[in-house]
Structure 1
Amino acid sequence: MQLVVARIGRAHGIKGDVTVEVRTDEPELRLAPGAVLATDPAATGPLTIETGRVHSGRLLLRFEGVNDRSAAEALRNTLLIAEIDPEELPEEEDEYYDHQLMDLDVVTRDGTEIGRITEISHLPSQDLFIVERPDGSEVMIPFVESIVVEIDLEEQRAVVDPPPGLIDDQAEVASSRDES
């Protein structure tokens, strides 16, 4: 199974370093020196990580054979893809890989269908589920314990207990305000 683990950003300096937007919870495992990553577009890869370091809160990587700013800049916006064993599980009990959560059905505690997870957005403060509703619209649900109360991989569902207004249609929210 393939998993997008990062997107290459700007070149940094003149020796071929690039900034990366990390898209994995385990950058120390997936983006370590020696890791060989497939790329999208495929024509730019595979790439082997030569060095990695954090600079001003950003991860910088240098790839074998990318030795100057021009070569690094040519990689901008390339997705880095790791090959993952689908049976591999995170070390912590309540942790999940993105691929385990993708396409899970999202329901409330009482069984009301909300939609299915189509994307997971990793933000600095928290992760978000991007959930596509049956009508095609999307809703963002923070992946925090107080809202996502259960992940059931066997049943392929995420059970949520959203606060008022998080998932309700705007019309419902407005009408409840009018009634008060």
Structure 2
Amino acid sequence: MSGTEEIRWVTLGYVMGAFGLKGEMRVRSLTERPDGIFDHPVWWLFNPKQKTRQEMRLGSGRLHGKGVVATLAGVTTREAVQALFGTEIQVPRSMLPDGGDDPGVDGIWADLIGCQVVEVDGTELGRVVEMMATGANDVLIVRGGPEGEKLLPYIEEVVVELDLDRQIIKVKLMEGM
């Protein structure tokens, strides 16, 4: 990567708060497998209010209930974790796998988050804010449109066109959607 290329950051999760007293944190993982976030030993914590990004090394991580708990090197108190509340856990897009034709690879999920979703007739439905694995197929969670939140299956019958360069997903809604 040359010094003039802009880094494309991908959000893998969010710091949700402290877990205990010794620097552990609850994390909302956006990766297909919740523990997939631990595949990345270095996290960049982005504070959206201050527009700052800080590089941190993952200390440890584990599944806990339906979520994940992690520690970061140098973050050893509950107060230090609370100061990170709401930060986005990011990595450069270049550190994610290409994904090829496998829609279940985190790299592909990361590429879909933020895309504008429109029906084939041009009606805007919102933006992909999250992905969800259901077992049968992945689901796009779309918010910000006039009809509120929509859950759209990520299948060929619904997703008719995917333009990642323009960040647009064209869909054909099935009856009842």
Global fold match (TM > 0.5): yes
Q: What 5-or-longer segments of structure 2 have no aligned partner?
A: 1-7
**1:24 match: secondary structure:** coil
State whether structure 2 residue 29 is matched by structure 1 residue 18: no
> Identity percentage over the alignment?
14
Query: Which amino acid letter does the alignment assign opposite residue 143 of structure 1?
Result: P
User: Structure 1 pair 10/128, CA: closer, same or farther in 2 (3 Å)?
Assistant: same
**1:59 match: secondary structure:** strand
Q: Normalised by the size of structure 2, how large is the TM-score?
A: 0.69
CA distance in 1, matches of 2:147, 2:32: 27
The CA RMSD over aligned residues, in Å, is: 3.4
Q: For residue 127 of structure 1, what is the aligned residue in structure 2?
A: 139
User: Structure 1 pair 91/64, CA: closer, same or farther in 2 (3 Å)?
Assistant: farther
Q: For residue 42 of structure 2, what is the aligned residue in structure 1?
A: 35
Q: CA deviation at 1:104?
A: 4.9
State whether structure 2 residue 11 is matched by structure 1 residue 4: yes
Q: What 5-or-longer segments of structure 1 have no aligned partner?
A: 167-180
**2:41 match: secondary structure:** coil
Deviations 1:30-87 (A, max 9, x none): 4336323242245572221111111122200100101122212221111111111299
Higher-Rg structure is 1
Alignment coverage as a number of residue pairs: 161
Determine which of 51, 55, 61 is the counterpart of 2:60: 51
Matches within 5 A, 1:30-109: 30-32=37-39, 34-40=41-47, 41=50, 45-85=54-94, 88-90=97-99, 93-95=102-104, 96-100=108-112, 102-104=114-116, 106-108=118-120
CA distance in 2, matches of 1:139, 1:71: 34
User: Structure 1 pair 47/152, CA: closer, same or farther in 2 (3 Å)?
Assistant: same
State whether structure 2 residue 154 is matched by structure 1 residue 144: yes
Q: Normalised by the size of structure 1, how large is the TM-score?
A: 0.68
State whether structure 2 residue 127 is matched by structure 1 residue 118: yes
